[in-house]
């Protein structure tokens, strides 16, 4: 039997003392570090992200081109007692109209795929500034609709308070970039391609012009080496699609595109009254030669849901809850939409290439209008009106965060804007229920 002598007892006692002191010291140091973190990045109910820039200032980034990539930065994420740190992070600007605003959006790229807040693994992430949206909720609301519609590839996000070099920069919405990836647009075929219809900002990008005058930009390819070939194949099918729509050949349209996804995109765009929907940020994808063209994912919603940021620039009728952007007869046609008073001859919409005809021409086909009604009846009927209540719930959840952001950027009365948005959604729901609520073939 083992016997304890005095020396052994003494040694064990010293060891226990050392371990105990170490644990106490670790706890004290941990508490001090936590206090230091909270002092720098107070917990207001959302994760905090701090980007430590490498050899560049935020002012230099904001003054420069959004295309400049800044390497070697550090990112730290703080949530509760958890701290995540990443080195060698690339930072750049992003956006088109939003990049010229006072509060800038950014893209960050990690050296390897990471899963942030359970949103799925990816290298590229974007920080949406929502500078034009006093509520900060329009993008989140649109993502809710994408999920309600059952769109195959849809987005989720998480609010974070952003610090750059330990300076508070406001409330941002962290989400994936629009790209090919398992957690985003999961294409696998070597000829898979992600394309953006962009009739506003196509210049300076890798674009092609369709037979009807749309500009389509190659955004991503499964195999970069096949990118050119995949884009040519996509354009060949897209031109066929345009011709079939003009000829009202719905059978051929169904062979070329996933009409269900186009109907869902229509409902997403029209319910939210997204003014960008038929001009830019209209994404489509095709997973190889044998696949059809699919519409989605939806993107760019900061001006949607009757956003008053533009004032009356778009005209009160444009954001009416009882009008759609694409309809015949008493409602808007493409010609009426293009001829609206958008600020005069020098207005950027007026000298842009204008709207794509594709969705307008699709809605000329009774079979497609029937698919729109079918999708509404299955996915949205008696459900979408809940979104108004969720807007008010979300407003309460992020009130302190939004107030702090609004104070920094003078973004307006987010409470009043959220209330108006919720009321508008209620009226919009009632209109859509009357317009699409009872499915029947529209022939």
Q: How far is CA 427 from the centre of its chain?
A: 25
Model pTM score: 0.87
The per-residue pLDDT for 412 is 81
For residue 34, tell me if it sits in a domain. no
**What is the rounded distance in angstroms from the CA atom of residue 224 to the CA atom of residue 238?**
20
For residue 337, the model assigns a pLDDT of 55
Residue 21 placed within a domain: no
Question: 196 lies in a domain?
Answer: yes
Are residues 229 and 253 both part of a single domain?
yes
Residue 225 lies in a domain: yes
Residues 216, 166 within the same domain: no
Which residues span the domain enclosing 375? Answer: 192-436
**Is 370:250 a contact under the CB 8 Å cutoff?**
no
Q: 161: helix, coil or strand?
A: strand
C-alpha gyration radius of the chain = 26
357 and 215 within one domain: yes
Residues 64 and 99: their CA atoms lie apart, in Å, by: 10
DSSP lists the bridge partners of residue 245 as none
- Measured CA angle at 338 (ends 335, 343), to 5 deg: 150
pLDDT tens figures, 57-110: 999 999 999 999 999 999 999 998 788 999 999 999 998 888 989 999 999 999
Residues of the chain scoring pLDDT < 70: 1-35, 38, 309-316, 327-353, 438-443
Residue 70 counted as domain residue: yes
Q: Single out the residue of 30, 48, 40, 56 nearest to residue 117, CA to CA.
A: 48
Are residues 161 and 252 part of one domain? Answer: no
What span, in angstroms and rounded, lies between the C-alpha atoms of 374 and 379?
8
Cross-strand bridge partners of residue 128: 173
Based on the fold, state whether residues 283 and 422 are members of the same structural domain.
yes
Question: Residues 6 or more apart from 32 whose CB is under 8 A from it?
Answer: none
Domain co-membership, 271 together with 399: yes
Angle, helix 138-149 to helix 259-272, in steps of 10 degrees? 150
DSSP string, 265-304: HHHHHHHHT-TTTTTS-EEEEEESTTSPBEE------TTT
Q: What's the order of all strands across the beta sheet hosting 207-209? A: 207-209, 215-221, 192-197, 282-287, 294-295
Q: Which residues contact 57 (CB under 8 A, 6 or more apart)?
A: 165
Which residue has tokens 């409470």?
415
155 plus 204 within the same structural domain: no
Tokens representing residue 69 in the block:
């990539």
Q: H helices of 176-330, where? A: 227-246, 250-256, 259-272
- Cα distances from 326 to residues 193, 219, 337, 399, in angstroms, run 28, 27, 9, 35
Residue linked to tokens 């703080």? 78
- Give dist(CA 170, CA 404) in Å, integer: 7
Residues 314 and 426 in one domain: yes
Residue 230 lies in a domain: yes
Query: Interhelix angle for 366-375 vs 259-272, to 10°?
Result: 70
Q: What is the pLDDT of residue 338?
A: 56
Give the separation between CA 53 and CA 60, rounded to whole angstroms: 11
DSSP-derived pairing of the beta strands 48-52 and 157-164: parallel
Nearest to 361 by CA among 331, 334, 332: 334
C-alpha pair distances (Å), 227 with each of 210, 232, 240:
17, 9, 20
Q: Which residues 6+ apart lie within 8 Å of 164 measured at CB?
A: 50, 51, 53, 58
Contact (Cβ atoms closer than 8 angstroms) between residue 61 and residue 51:
no
The CB density around residue 3, as the number of other CB atoms within 10 Å, is 5
Examine the domain organization and report whether 324 and 367 are in the same domain.
Answer: yes
Contact yes or no for 258/266 (Cβ under 8 A): no
* Total structural domains within the chain: 2
**Taking Cα atoms as reference points, which of 132, 176, 169 lies closest to residue 154?**
176
> What pLDDT is stored for residue 87 in this prediction?
97
Residues 158 and 209 in one domain: no
Is position 7 within any domain? Answer: no
- 252 and 164 in one domain? no
Instruction: Indicate the burial class of 25 (C-beta count within 10 angstroms; 0-12, 13-18, 19 or more).
Output: exposed
Q: Name the H helices within 41-173.
A: 58-63, 138-149
Closest CA to 165 of 59, 75, 52: 52
Distance CA 85, CA 76 (A): 4
For residue range 296-316, list pLDDT tens digits in order. Answer: 999 999 999 998 765 555 556
Ramachandran assignment for 154, one of left (phi > 0), alpha (psi -120 to 50 degrees), beta (any other): beta
Residue 16 lies in a domain: no
Burial class for 270, CB neighbours closer than 10 Å (0-12, 13-18, 19+):
buried
Report the C-alpha gap between 144 and 132 in whole angstroms. 19
Same domain, 231 and 167: no
Predicted pLDDT at 201: 86
């Amino acid at each position: 039997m083992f016997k304890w002598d005095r020396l052994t007892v003494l040694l064990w006692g010293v060891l226990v003392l050392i371990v105990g002191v170490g644990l106490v010291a670790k706890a004290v140091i941990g508490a001090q570090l936590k206090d230091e973190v909270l002092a720098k990045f107070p917990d207001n109910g959302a994760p905090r992200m701090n980007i430590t820039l490498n050899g560049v200032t935020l002012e230099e980034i904001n003054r420069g081109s959004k295309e400049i990539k800044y390497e070697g930065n550090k990112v730290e994420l703080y949530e509760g007692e958890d701290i995540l740190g990443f080195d060698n992070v690339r930072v750049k600007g992003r956006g088109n109209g939003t990049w010229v605003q006072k509060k800038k959006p950014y893209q960050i790229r990690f050296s390897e795929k990471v899963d942030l807040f359970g949103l799925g693994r990816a290298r590229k992430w974007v920080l949406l500034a929502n500078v034009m949206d006093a509520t900060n909720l329009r993008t989140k609301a649109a993502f809710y609709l994408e999920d309600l519609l059952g769109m195959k590839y849809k987005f989720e996000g998480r609010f974070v308070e952003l610090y750059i070099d330990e300076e508070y920069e406001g409330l941002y919405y962290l989400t994936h970039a629009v790209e090919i990836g398992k957690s985003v647009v999961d294409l696998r075929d070597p000829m898979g391609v992600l394309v953006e219809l962009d009739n506003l900002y196509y210049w300076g990008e890798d674009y092609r012009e369709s037979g009807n005058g749309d500009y389509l930009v190659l955004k991503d390819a499964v195999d970069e080496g096949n990118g050119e070939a995949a884009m040519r194949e996509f354009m060949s099918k897209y031109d066929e699609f345009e011709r079939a729509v003009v000829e009202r050949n719905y059978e051929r349209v169904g062979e070329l595109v996933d009409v269900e996804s186009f109907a869902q995109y229509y409902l997403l765009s029209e319910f939210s009254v997204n003014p960008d929907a038929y001009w830019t940020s209209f994404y489509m994808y095709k997973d190889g030669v044998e696949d059809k063209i699919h519409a989605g994912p939806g993107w760019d919603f900061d001006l949607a849901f009757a956003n008053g940021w533009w004032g009356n620039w778009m005209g009160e009728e444009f954001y009416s809850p009882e009008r759609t952007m694409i309809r015949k007869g008493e409602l808007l046609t493409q010609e009426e939409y293009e001829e609206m008073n958008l600020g005069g001859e020098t207005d950027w919409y007026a000298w842009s290439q204008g709207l794509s005809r594709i969705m307008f021409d699709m809605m000329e086909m009774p079979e497609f209008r029937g698919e729109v009604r079918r999708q509404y009846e299955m996915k949205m009927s008696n459900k979408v009106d809940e979104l108004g209540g969720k807007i008010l719930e979300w407003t309460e959840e992020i009130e302190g965060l939004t107030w702090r952001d609004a104070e920094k950027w003078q973004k307006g009365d987010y409470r009043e804007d959220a209330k108006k948005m919720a009321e508008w959604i209620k009226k919009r729901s009632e209109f859509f229920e009357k317009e699409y609520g009872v499915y029947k073939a529209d022939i």
